[in-house]
Amino acid sequence: GDSVTQMEGPVTLSEEAFLTINCTYTATGYPSLFWYVQYPGEGLQLLLKATKADDKGSNKGFEATYRKETTSFHLEKGSVQVSDSAVYFCALSGVPGSARQLTFGSGTQLTVLP
């Protein structure tokens, strides 16, 4: 079945450091790929998505490129801020059917220190 493997955390960085959170997946067909972010005490928010190979999703300075050849969707940001401290989830969508389910990775806790 479908699965998502995320880099284990927690990750601690200093402000303005470069961020990479690795995500690889196993899926049938051609799923959409997502990064969601969860700030403390809140639900998940969509950060970015990509729907086909070589697409790049971007938002708030974060980027991720859909790499079919390596089945990866790594999240990057050039300069993190304290306000980026959150849990980040990689996810993929299932095949079209009654409802397209999402399969999530286990999440990566990011802490950015001033």
Partner 1 sequence: DVKVTQSSRYLVKRTGEKVFLECVQDMDHENMFWYRQDPGLGLRLIYFSYDVKMKEKGDIPEGYSVSREKKERFSLILESASTNQTSMYLCASSPERGGLQDTQYFGPGTRLTVL
List of residues contacting partner 1 (CB under 8 A): 32, 34, 36, 41-46, 49, 51, 89, 93, 96-102, 104-107
- In the complex with partner 1, the residue whose CB is nearer, 19 or 93, is 93
Shortest gap between Cβ of 74 and partner 1 (angstroms)? 17
The type of residue at 50 is A
Nearer to partner 1, 10 or 114 (CB): 10
CB closer to partner 1 out of 4 and 80: 4
Give the nearest distance from C-beta 105 to partner 1 in angstroms.
6
The CB-of-79 to partner 1 minimum distance in angstroms stands at 27
Strands, E assignment, the chain: 3-6, 11-14, 19-21, 23-26, 33-38, 44-50, 56-59, 62-65, 75-77, 86-93, 102-104, 108-113
What gap in Å lies between CA 105 and CA 99, rounded to an integer?
19
The distance of closest approach from Cβ of residue 62 to partner 1 in the complex, given in angstroms and rounded to an integer, is 16
Of residues 49 and 77, the one with the C-beta less far from partner 1: 49
Whether the CB-CB separation of 45 and 36 falls below 8 Å is answered with yes
Give yes or no for a contact between 48 and 55, defined as CB atoms under 8 angstroms apart: no
